[in-house]
Amino acid sequence: MRIKVFSIRNSMMVCLMLGLTACSTPPPKQVKDNEVSQIDTQTNVVHYLCEGEPMEIQFHGEEALLNWKNKHYHLTQAISASGAYYLGEDVSFWSEKNKAAIEIDDLKEVKCQLIRVES
């Protein structure tokens, strides 16, 4: 009978300790609604000069909108070994540091130089 009483006491102590440990863990940080909306809606606009023509690209999450020579191209982020790489229908955009390159309709690669970044 003593063995059972001892086991019950040990079980109760373990449960009590686990309960106290769970209570001592801080609750997860809660993000306010306005903080989430600011993160979700932040857009960065980057300006380049490509073959003497101004080019603008707007980054929003994993999406981008490229504007060059009065045409607009919707792009989605892709995997890249280095830099940032975005793909769209018949268009690709790659950037790293102050340089970028675009390729449209499988034509030659157009090299670009960073002018400024707006966020």
Q: Does domain 33-118 have CATH number 2.40.128.200?
A: yes
Residue 100, CA distances (Å) to 25, 47, 74, 93, 113 in order: 47, 11, 17, 7, 6
**pTM of the shown model:** 0.63
Per-residue pLDDT of the chain (119 residues; tens, 9 = 90+): 454 544 555 555 544 454 544 455 555 555 455 544 445 567 899 999 999 999 999 999 999 999 999 999 999 999 988 999 999 999 999 999 999 999 999 788 999 999 999 98
Q: What pLDDT score was predicted for residue 21?
A: 47
The span from the CA of 18 to the CA of 11, in Å, is 11
Enumerate the domain spans of the chain.
33-118
Per-residue DSSP letter, 62:
T
**Tokens 């063995």, residue?**
3
